[in-house]
Amino acid sequence: MTLRMQSAWLLEAVSEIATVDSIFFPFIHRFSAINWLSRRDFTLSVNAISTSQAMLLRAWLDGSYGAFNDKNLQKFNQQIKNPLDLSMNPFRSWKDRLFDRQQLDYLFYWREAAFEIEEEPQREIFWAAVYQIMSYWLSNRACEVEVLCQPDEIMALTLSRHAEFIKGREAKVTITCCGLDELKPANSCLTLFPLIFGDEENAEMTLQVVFDAWQNGHDDLEQSRRQIRMQLRRYMIDLAKPEDYYTITRLSANSRITSLIWSGLELPPALYEQELIRPVQKALAERYAKSQLLMKAVDRTCDAYDYLLLFY
């Protein structure tokens, strides 16, 4: 599911209603969507859809983790001077399909090395760095761009950038990972629901699938894909079900403003207005006195718009 989270636009719209000092996400399916928000001076409460996404949130957005220390960098980011035995590599089927031979050697080594890191926060930072490196490698392969840096150099650079990235973290971030039925409403100015309509394949989904398989030590991408889709479906709000409206009102009970946000493609705004917006406004009319719809065009040739539906 592609979601273009235009955070500055979101805050600008909400700030016309109230001063935002806290935001609650009952679910978020990719940590990078809230990178910018994590640098604001307010509280974030975020519920991740999976343990791997929760780990990435902790590593990249929670400044209390600190940086990856020099001792661990020297010990666990070694240069591989000779090719490893490919028959021992559980990811060997990805060779020349997702990664080259050298990259596979490092993915195998990094996964094994991570389990030797004693401190869990340090281990999670290391895993989170591999996620970013996978993104870099897969993107370059898709664009047929040659990777010039050696893997150990890329790891060192990624961990260095992580140290810079977490500096100046001003937001207080609370991270959970549980189902909507178990989740309790947060005391926040804004509760934000990023709507998930489907589980279509795209570069973002591929990255999550490959990382999930790697982290679990196998090469079965279909198994990881099924698992992630099952996780996503737990958080798909079906606006045809009255109980899902109750989920929205229950989880936003302690918030002044509630917002539904989504990205549309190849469907005209009028269709969303008819099939989604008006029914939601009608169903939530008793809970909220006012509602406001905002749209931002991304590419009109393919009806790509970002939508922000506010209730207050």
What mean pLDDT comes out for the span 168-173?
73
The percent of residues above 90 in pLDDT, for the chain, comes to: 67
User: Residue 78's pLDDT is what?
Assistant: 95
Q: What is the CATH number of domain 7-62+170-196+239-311?
A: 3.40.50.150
Q: In Å, what is the CA distance from 62 to each residue of 73, 139, 165, 184, 242?
A: 20, 26, 11, 21, 36
Residue range 192-231, pLDDT digits in tens: 999 877 656 788 889 999 999 999 999 999 999 999 999 8
Q: Are 104 and 85 in contact (CB under 8 A)?
A: no
Q: What is the pLDDT of residue 264?
A: 84
How many helices and strands in the chain, by DSSP H and E? 11, 7
Q: What whole-number distance in Å separates Cα of residue 277 and Cα of residue 294?
A: 11
pLDDT at residue 266, as a whole number: 76
- Give pTM, 2 decimals: 0.90
Q: Are 69 and 234 in contact (CB under 8 A)?
A: no
pLDDT, one tens digit per residue, over 116-152 is 999 999 999 999 999 999 999 999 999 999 998 999 9
- Distance, CA of 105 to CA of 262 (rounded, Å): 39
SS3 (DSSP) at 286: coil
Rounded Cα distance, 54 and 28, in Å: 9
Per residue in 253-269, pLDDT tens?
999 999 999 988 878 88
Which helix (H) or strand (E) covers residue 47, if one does?
Answer: strand 43-48
pLDDT of 1 > 70? The answer is no
pLDDT beyond 60 at 272: yes
User: How many whole angstroms from its chain centre is CA 93?
Assistant: 27
pLDDT, one tens digit per residue, over 83-97 is 999 999 999 999 999
**Listed residue (60, 147, 152) closest to 113, CA to CA:** 152
Tell me, what's the pLDDT at 174?
93
Confidence of residue 283 (pLDDT cuts 50, 70, 90): confident
Asked if 29 and 232 touch (Cβ cutoff 8 Å), the reply is: yes
Query: Which residue is associated with the tokens 């008793």?
Result: 286
pLDDT of 298 > 80? The answer is yes
Report the pLDDT value the prediction gives residue 198, as an integer from 0 to 100: 63
* pLDDT reported for residue 276: 87
Q: Amino acid identity, residue 43?
A: T
Would you kindly state where each structural domain of the chain is located, as residue ranges? 7-62+170-196+239-311, 68-165
